[in-house]
Chain A
C-alpha cells in the first residue's frame, strides 16, 4: 500500500507564543513494498511524522494519502486506517497488559471487530511470525525476557494484518544479538510478504544493512532522501544534523586519504573488506 505525504506541517501549541513546528512542509512518496529507513536525531520530527501516518496526530496543514485515500477526510474510517497502517512504538513491550501473551496479541484484531475464530487465527499467525515458541503462548508477558517481550509486542501489531508497518526504534535498549534478531525478523518479513516497512532508527549500521531507501530528517524537514549509498555520501551534512555515517564510510575515507584507490560509495563492512582485498589484488 502506497503512502503519499502532501505538504504536511504540524505545530504544537499553535497560536501561542510557544508555537513549535515539529514538522514543516514535508512531502514524500513511499511506493508499495518499499523498505524505508527514517533517520534523525531525537527531536528531528521523525516520531511526529510517523504518528500522522496512522492518524494519531492531526496535521496543522497538509494531508496524508494511504492507498490513494485522504486519511484526514472526515468521512475516512479510522478503524480501517489502523488495520492498514500498523505502528509499533518505541519500547512497545511497555503496552502489554493482558494476563497472558496470546490474549494480549488478540487485543488488536478484537478491536477490529473480527470474529473470535479469525482473531485467534491471526494472533497465532502473528506469534509464529515473530518466532515465539508455542509453550510461551500462555505465560504472562511479564515473565518473558526483554527480547521476547518486544517480539510479542510487535506480534500485537502484526495481528492486525497491516499492509504498512512502521517501527519506531525497534532495537532500542537491546544488546547486539537482540538487535540483529529483531532486524533479521523484520527484513525477513519484508522479503516474504513484500509489505511496506518504515524503520525509524538512529543507528546507521542497522539501516545501511537492510533498507532500500533512507530519509533523513532534521529540524522538521527532510534533509536527505535516497538510497543508502547516496545518503551516506553526504557525511558532512549528516554530521551537521547530529548524525553520523556508518563506520565503514569513515574507514574508506581515511584509507582514501592515505592514498588507497577505493570506491567512495561503500556503506557496509563486507563491501569494505571486498574493496580493500581488491586493492591488494587477489594474490594474497
Chain B
C-alpha cells in the first residue's frame, strides 16, 4: 500500500479585496496525482509560487483539497476523527527555523509532540533522546534554541517531528533560509532518516543539488506536475527545466553544454565523479 496517495487534487482559494468581496479564484493546486511508496525519498521541485508548498500542506491535513482526495496511510485526510492519527503519520518541518520551535530548551521542544500525543513521561524522555541522537543534536539538548545556528534549529525541528514516530516526514523548503553549511547539515539529516530509520521523506525545495539522491522527483509549475521521474531522467531535460524557471546542478549544466557542443556524453550526469568517468571514457576511446 502507498503511504501517500493523491488523486486529482485541486486546491482553490478566493482572492478578496479590502472589503472582503471576492475578486477572483486562484487555483494553487491543479489536478495533481502523486503516490509515494513507504521508504521512498521523494523530492518536489518548483519555483516560488508553483504551488509546491500548498500541496505539501495537504499531506498532513493543514489544508484540505477543494476537489479530489488525499490518502495518508489509507486514511482520507478529510475524515475529522482521524486528524490526529494523520498528523502523527506524516510529520512536517517548515521553512522558517525560528517560527516552529515552541519551547525554550531544545529537549523540551522535541518533547512537545509526544506530550500532545499523551505519551507517558518516561517514554517521552526515551523518544527525545533517540530523536536528538538521530539528527546529531543530543549534546545541545539543554541549550536555548536562540543560541543555535539556522541549520541546527532545523535539525531540532526534524527531531521534534521524529519524536512523534511518524512514518513519513514532509520537509517544506527546510533550507530556503539557511547558508550553504546549514543546507548541507539539514539535507544530511534528512537522508539519514531515510537510509537509517527507513522513514519516507518528501523534500520540497528549489535547490537542485539537494535532490540528486532522491528516488523520484516531481517538478511543479502553476499548481500542476509538469515533469516527473528519477533525478537522472528529470535533469537530462535541461531546457525544459529552465523554461520552468529552474536550473540544473552545475555539473549537469556543464555536461549538457559539452554534449551540445558535440562531445558524446551520456545525458543525465549528476555528480562530478560521473562526469570525470565519462570524459575519461571518451578520451581513451579516441
Contact = CB atoms under 8 A, between A and B. Distances in A.
> Do A and B form a real pair?
yes
Nearest to A270: B257
Contacts of B257: 269-270, 273
A175 B206 contact: yes
A247 interface: yes
B279 interface: yes
Interface of A: 41-43, 145-147, 172-178, 202-203, 205, 242-244, 246-248, 250-251, 254-255, 258-260, 269-270, 272-273, 276-277, 280, 284
Given A174-B48, A272-B254, 10 more contacts: A42-B149, A43-B149, A146-B49, A251-B272, A254-B275, A255-B279, A269-B250, A270-B257, A277-B261, A280-B282
B272 A41 contact: no
A176 B275 contact: no
Interface residues of B, number: 34
B17 to A, nearest CB: 10
The 4 closest A-B pairs by CB, nearest first: A177-B245, A247-B250, A175-B47, A273-B257
B196 interface: no
B192 interface: no
Interface of B is mostly: helix
Interface in B61-88: none
Contacts of A176: 47, 206, 208, 245-247
Nearest to A146: B48
Contacts of A147: 48
B253 A177 contact: no
B119 interface: no
Contacts of A243: 180
Contacts of B249: 247
A255 B276 contact: yes
A273 B254 contact: yes
B181 A254 contact: no
Interface in B172-201: 176-177, 179-182
B280 interface: yes
A178 B46 CA distance: 12
A277 B206 CA distance: 30
Counting chain A CB atoms within 10 Å of each CB, the highest count among B176, B179, B275, B276 belongs to B179
A277 B272 CA distance: 17
Contacts of B48: 145-147, 174-175, 178
Contacts of B47: 175-178
Given A176-B246, A248-B254, A145 B276 contact: no
B74 to A, nearest CB: 34
Counting chain B CB atoms within 10 Å of each CB, the highest count among A147, A176, A202, A251 belongs to A176
Contacts of A251: 250-251, 254, 272, 275
B276 A205 contact: no
Contacts of A259: 280
Contacts of B258: 273, 276-277
